[in-house]
């Protein structure tokens, strides 16, 4: 006998509300990650998402394979073309989000939706690989609302509700999950290395580089993200002394300045007249250099000091780093230059002839008075019609000639570079120093906030009897750059985002970000091991954490279960709605008999009220479905039933 093949029934197609909520979830994922994706990829994925949503409203059904497969191949090739491979944080995120959007093309059944929701939650979390700040974390958490609402929309007998109302129940679920999330945050053992693997070069915000050319700072000067936070043991230094040294650049090739480490030489001699001690919380830079106030006296633990008093960490700063050191604000740095003098006079041949001629003319005019030559250069910048701008004209091969004699506009890179070349042409040892200058003193948090936009470049000249002396030629053109900060110097060039009131708000808000950084982002394995120190346990091992996590989870589940049972016993809104309906019918002498079930009672009432038979039948069906078709009736559906009972008005009874 030939066996009969059993045909599996086709899965039911999901409703439009579930599809709309899923599309909203994916749109949220794309929005929170748009800043980390190439603009053209974000635009293409947004178009694909919108087209699929529109196409689904016109006609249900999966998109044909002859469309999906070429799109999948095109996505893969686009990611490889943009990043060079498919591995790493940025390309992996781009590929995952692209695959998520393509998943929507084949989503039609409940199983498809559930798989897509799980993938949506995973890709949503990729935004935290780029930014773990407070606002980013809250936004990602809110992104779970449409995903949870999508799952609730798949439940049977869901009453139709508005889109905002459908998000209320998921919001309550998130709020209820916060205690368990806090417990897991504190007690789940921390990994000593990142789960994602070795961080890529783009993991940190754009930071200072070991080379500088006029115009190269523009990305930093328009980047308002925090670079570091500094607290002082005592009063902070005045604004004109808030220079944070990073790189000291000696080599100049006619276009760019480059930092070159001088190995196996002790730090330059330093005579300290006044010093301050401070603590730096440096955000990730992917570089070894540690910015220090003015001239550091000694390197902090885990770092070393180079010949030019540049402090380098042993490993790149991949995570936020806190270090403490002392720096001299009044000093003599390298009083005797000796054999190193030639290093600070080097200039390439064949570049900037007019600039070199100007520097040599000052030497002829002022003789051995190096201080007079410095004053002449600063007077040139102050009185020579120069302008501070973040959008300077481009420079040619002889960049310093073009800047000094033609364009006469630029920012700190232009002025420090031109000044240093002029000094070397005049025979004065000089160098370019890059780092940060200024910052916002947050009185509430008692710390100095230094942003990437506070990046700055200045010069140092060596004067006999004084050693290396800091000279900031930008201040000769735009004094506000030193006294009021980078945003004030730029004026309206940075647009509405850098308006004074908004800048002040962001600076004050940073105290919240600092707390988040210390309490949450900075909660590492070391701090976790000292979690129970107040209770007499100096080092909390993994076993202890696991036991505490199990106990806490059990208590949390027990409390939640007890609360749910008590709430169910003390309050049954469905029963209350039925009693209200019974009271309305009893006023018309249609009281419920002892032992009479709801179905029989309402059927009897429908026979006595022929004009309202359909209305009572609908109420009966809805009540029976809510009472017996669910372990727990959906709150939205119960609310709809209660409103229908409240609106029900009993008419004349037929005897």
**Reduced 3-state DSSP string for 455-468:** EEEEEEEEECCCEE
Statement to judge: residues 323 and 235 lie in one domain: yes
pLDDT, tens digit (0-9, with 9 covering 90-100), for 69-87 = 888 899 999 999 888 888 8
Note if 225 is an active site residue.
no
Q: 512 and 444 in contact (C-beta within 8 Å)?
A: no
Q: 146 and 25 in contact (C-beta within 8 Å)?
A: yes
547 assigned to some structural domain: no
51 assigned to some structural domain: yes
Burial of 329 (0-12, 13-18, 19+ CB in 10 A): middle
322 assigned to some structural domain: yes
Catalytic residue among 36, 414, 456, 498: 456
Range of the domain at 23: 16-155
Catalytic residue among 472, 498, 510, 517: 472
Statement to judge: residues 473 and 582 lie in one domain: no
560 assigned to some structural domain: no
pLDDT, mean of residues 48-77: 87
Ranked by mean pLDDT, which of 100-109, 207-216, 589-598, 601-610 comes out on top?
Answer: 100-109
pTM value?
A: 0.68
Statement to judge: residues 236 and 363 lie in one domain: yes
pLDDT, mean of residues 378-385: 92
Statement to judge: residues 135 and 235 lie in one domain: no
548 assigned to some structural domain: no
Statement to judge: residues 150 and 216 lie in one domain: no
| pLDDT at 362 > cutoff 90 | yes
Statement to judge: residues 498 and 352 lie in one domain: yes
Cα 30 from chain centroid (whole Å): 15
| pLDDT at 388 > cutoff 60 | yes
Pick the last residue of a domain from 454, 477, 509: 509
Note if 456 is an active site residue.
yes
Dihedral of CA atoms 430, 432, 436, 438 in degrees, nearest 10, equals 40
Confidence band (pLDDT; 50, 70, 90) for 169? confident
Statement to judge: residues 146 and 269 lie in one domain: no
Q: What is the pLDDT of residue 197?
A: 43
Tell which residue, 465, 382, 464, 459, has the closest CA to residue 424: 459
Statement to judge: residues 473 and 387 lie in one domain: yes
543 assigned to some structural domain: no
| pLDDT at 629 > cutoff 50 | yes
Number of separate domains in the chain:
3
Confidence band (pLDDT; 50, 70, 90) for 420? very high
Confidence band (pLDDT; 50, 70, 90) for 622? confident
Q: What is the pLDDT of residue 191?
A: 64
Confidence band (pLDDT; 50, 70, 90) for 190? confident
Statement to judge: residues 502 and 629 lie in one domain: no
Note if 593 is an active site residue.
no
Statement to judge: residues 630 and 485 lie in one domain: no
174 assigned to some structural domain: no
Q: What is the pLDDT of residue 590?
A: 83
190 assigned to some structural domain: no
Statement to judge: residues 319 and 240 lie in one domain: yes
Catalytic residue among 36, 224, 308, 412: 412
Pick the last residue of a domain from 136, 155, 174: 155
Statement to judge: residues 239 and 106 lie in one domain: no
The answer for residues whose C-beta is within 8 angstroms of residue 292's C-beta and 6 or more apart is 244, 245, 280, 309, 311, 325, 327
Pick the last residue of a domain from 85, 120, 155: 155
Q: What is the pLDDT of residue 498?
A: 53
């Amino acid at each position: 006998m030939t066996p009969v093949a059993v045909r599996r029934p086709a899965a039911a197609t999901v409703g439009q509300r579930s599809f709309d909520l899923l599309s909203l979830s994916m749109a949220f994922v794309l929005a929170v990650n748009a800043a980390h994706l190439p603009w053209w990829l974000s635009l293409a994925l947004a178009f694909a998402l919108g087209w699929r949503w529109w196409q689904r409203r016109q006609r249900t059904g999966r998109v044909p394979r002859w469309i999906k497969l070429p799109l999948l191949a095109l996505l893969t090739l686009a990611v490889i073309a943009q990043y060079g491979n498919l591995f790493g944080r940025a390309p992996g995120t781009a590929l995952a989000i692209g695959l998520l959007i393509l998943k929507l093309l084949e989503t039609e059944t409940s199983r498809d939706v559930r798989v897509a929701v799980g993938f949506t939650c995973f890709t949503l979390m990729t935004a935290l690989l780029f930014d773990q700040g407070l606002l980013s974390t809250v936004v990602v958490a809110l992104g779970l609302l449409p995903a949870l609402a999508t799952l609730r929309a798949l439940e049977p007998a869901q009453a139709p509700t508005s889109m905002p109302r459908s998000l209320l129940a998921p919001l309550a679920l998130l709020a209820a999950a916060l205690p368990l999330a806090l417990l897991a945050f504190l007690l789940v053992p921390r990994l000593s290395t990142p789960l994602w693997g070795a961080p890529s070069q783009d993991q940190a915000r754009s930071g200072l580089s070991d080379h500088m050319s006029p115009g190269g700072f523009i990305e930093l000067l328009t980047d308002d993200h925090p670079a570091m936070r500094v607290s002082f043991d005592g009063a902070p230094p005045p604004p004109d002394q808030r220079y944070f040294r990073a790189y000291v650049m000696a080599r100049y090739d006619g276009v760019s300045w480059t930092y070159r480490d001088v190995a196996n030489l002790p730090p330059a001699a330093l005579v300290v007249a006044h010093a301050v001690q401070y603590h730096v919380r440096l955000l990730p830079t992917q570089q070894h250099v540690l910015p220090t106030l003015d001239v550091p006296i000694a390197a902090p633990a885990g770092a070393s000091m180079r010949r030019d008093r540049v402090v380098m960490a042993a490993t790149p700063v991949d995570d936020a780093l806190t270090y403490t050191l002392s720096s001299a604000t009044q000093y003599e740095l390298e009083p005797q230059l000796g054999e190193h003098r030639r290093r600070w006079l080097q200039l390439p041949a064949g570049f900037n002839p007019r600039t070199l001629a100007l520097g040599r003319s000052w030497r002829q005019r002022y003789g051995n008075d190096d201080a007079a030559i410095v004053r002449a250069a600063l007077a040139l910048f102050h009185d020579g019609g120069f302008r501070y701008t973040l959008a300077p004209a481009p420079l040619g091969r002889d960049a310093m000639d073009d800047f000094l004699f033609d364009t006469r506009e630029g920012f700190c890179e232009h002025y420090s570079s031109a000044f240093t070349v002029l000094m070397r042409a005049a025979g004065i040892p000089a160098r370019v120093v890059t780092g940060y200058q200024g910052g916002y003193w947050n009185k509430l948090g008692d710390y100095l906030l230094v942003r990437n936009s506070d990046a700055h470049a200045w010069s140092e000249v060596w004067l006999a009897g004084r050693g290396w002396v800091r000279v900031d030629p930008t201040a000769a053109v735009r004094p506000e750059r030193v006294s009021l900060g980078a945003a004030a110097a730029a004026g309206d060039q940075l647009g509405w985002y850098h308006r004074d009131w908004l800048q002040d708000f962001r600076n004050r808000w940073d105290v919240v970000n600092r707390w988040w950084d210390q309490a949450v982002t900075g909660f590492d394995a070391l701090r976790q091991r000292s979690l129970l120190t107040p209770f007499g346990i100096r080092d909390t091992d993994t076993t202890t954490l696991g036991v505490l996590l199990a106990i806490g989870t059990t208590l949390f589940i027990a409390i939640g279960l007890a609360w749910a049972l008590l709430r169910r016993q003390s309050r049954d809104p469905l029963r209350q709605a039925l009693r209200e309906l019974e009271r309305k019918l009893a006023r018309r002498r249609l009281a419920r008999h002892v032992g009479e079930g709801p179905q029989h009672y309402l059927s009897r009432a429908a026979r006595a009220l022929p004009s309202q038979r359909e209305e009572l039948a609908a109420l009966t069906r809805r009540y029976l479905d809510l009472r017996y078709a669910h372990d727990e009736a959906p709150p939205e559906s119960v609310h709809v039933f209660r409103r229908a009972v409240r609106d029900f008005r009993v008419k004349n009874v037929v005897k």
